[in-house]
Structure 1
């Protein structure tokens, strides 16, 4: 049975931000563009951690936002609950491997701007 929170999870073929037709790339970008979604994936790439540890790693993200994002990322098969805590799935690891080079690119890119990185 679908819940109200399930209705907020982006799905291919359904309208999402930037796409009325729900193209897969736009569905992914909608999910990853949500507050803290990328940060959670980034923090989990080092291995599983508990809810509280993940909250601390994410600069004390509110429990409600963290819970919502974890539900969405779990529904998207990117994160799973393990005995050790939350962890990336195989799909989540594959996605991280694609996203990680963007971090290096961003460091180079920021040097071309007049903005200093944090």
Structure 2
């Protein structure tokens, strides 16, 4: 849509309508963030089990990621010392499910999956 002057409206951070999606992209763009959500999506996990499943992620980085996800209201640490998705985290996991599905078809294509 163009303004009365004919110029395109600003995009990116200058457009207030983009702020929520940019905030989510910045949060989830941090290394290991989406992996934590992936691991917690099926069931709550304690720190040690989550750390074991995370492979190369250090304990200190995992602690920071868990803290950030808690601050964002996407996970909680229960009195039983396990981490689980909140209602908002469950909604986000559901929104990410098409990406996870798409990634399988992408990886099946020649040259689709990056090598590590």
TM-score by length of 2: 0.77
Asked if 1 retains the 8 angstrom alpha-carbon contact of 2:106 and 2:112, the reply is no
Note the C-alpha offset of 1:108. Answer: 1.3
- 1:25-50 CA-to-partner distances (Å, cap 9, x unmatched) read 00001000101000000000111111
- Name the residue aligned to 1:110: 107
C-alpha separation between the residues in 1 aligned to 2:102 and 2:112? 15
Tell me, which stretches of 5 or more residues in structure 1 are unaligned?
1-17
Consecutive unaligned residues of structure 2, counting only runs of 5 or more, are 1-11
CA distance in structure 1 between the partners assigned to 2:113 and 2:22 by the alignment: 30
Give the 3-state SS of the residue equivalent to 2:13 in structure 1.
coil
Contact kept, 8 Å, 1:48 with 1:84, in 2: the verdict is no
TM-score for the superposition, normalised by structure 1: 0.76
Structure 1 contact 77–92 (Cα < 8 Å) conserved: yes
Cα offset, 1:19, TM superposition: 3.2
Q: Is the 8 A contact 1:77 1:89 kept in 2?
A: yes
Q: Is the Cα contact below 8 Å between 1:43 and 1:57 reproduced in 2?
A: yes
CA distance in 2, matches of 1:109, 1:100: 14
Which consecutive aligned stretches of 4+ in structure 1 deviate over 4 angstroms post-superposition? none
Instruction: Give aligned pairs, total.
Output: 101
